[in-house]
């Protein structure tokens, strides 16, 4: 009996700790690895970032979502994309000469350089993209429970311009650059931008 109590005195805290960690990871936050250059200069390939599952998505939030059945080229059920939310449900979105307009107003894109804004963004609106890429849904607005997303490195990003909208149910959470990252500008451009 004494041996059992002694054993339980160290086994029980370990089991409780593991259960708490599993609950936090499943419901509150997790870590993911950025795959590819589509979010440069703010997030680098292979960089590990926190994903807060309970955070609310806003315009310009950087999100992680399961791309399976969103992007036709995402063939695995575990493919995760990291992109920036440009359009929320009901928004009109268009690009013209390096500027992005949401509901007719140009948004601030200070999180990327002028060169990055003009190289690769293109000139389009949601309807022209849906026609050009043969989306099933032909619309002028971001649908209910969906987001329009872009990568910060527009000239290499595979994003909503090609495959359409991200259903809200596919969103895993909002990206946060950890405080130990020494680049204050990058942390601000990912963690603090949004409206």
Strand order in the sheet with 80-87: 29-33, 48-52, 171-176, 62-66, 80-87, 146-150, 166-167
User: Do 150 and 157 touch, CB atoms closer than 8 A?
Assistant: yes
CA distance 126 to 94: 6
**Helix, strand or coil, per DSSP, at residue 69:** coil
Q: Which two tokens stand for residue 172?
A: 């895993």
CA distance 193 to 195: 7
The residue annotated as part of the active site, out of 61, 80, 83, 157, is: 83
The residue annotated as part of the active site, out of 38, 61, 146, 160, is: 38
- Verify whether residue 75 is a known catalytic residue: no
- Verify whether residue 83 is a known catalytic residue: yes
Integer-rounded Cα Rg, in Å, for the chain is: 20
User: Do 165 and 142 touch, CB atoms closer than 8 A?
Assistant: yes
User: Could you list the active site residues?
Assistant: 38, 83
């Amino acid at each position: 009996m004494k041996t059992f109590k002694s054993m339980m005195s160290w086994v029980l805290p370990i089991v409780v700790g593991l259960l708490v960690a599993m609950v936090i990871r499943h419901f509150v936050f997790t870590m993911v690895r950025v795959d590819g250059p589509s979010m440069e200069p703010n997030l680098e390939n292979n960089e590990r970032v926190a994903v807060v599952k309970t955070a609310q998505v806003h315009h310009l939030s950087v999100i992680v979502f399961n791309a399976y059945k969103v992007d036709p080229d995402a063939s695995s059920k575990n493919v995760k994309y990291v992109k920036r939310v440009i359009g929320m449900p009901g928004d009109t979105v268009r690009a013209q000469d390096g500027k992005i307009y949401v509901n007719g107003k140009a948004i601030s894109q200070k999180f990327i350089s002028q060169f990055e804004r003009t190289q690769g963004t293109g000139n389009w609106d949601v309807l022209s993209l849906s026609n050009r890429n043969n989306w099933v849904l032909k619309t002028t607005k971001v649908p209910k429970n969906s987001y329009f997303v872009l990568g910060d490195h527009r000239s290499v990003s595979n994003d909503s311009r090609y495959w359409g909208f991200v259903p809200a149910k596919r969103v895993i959470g909002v990206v946060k650059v950890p405080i130990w990252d020494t680049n204050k500008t990058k942390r601000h451009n990912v963690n603090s931008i949004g409206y």
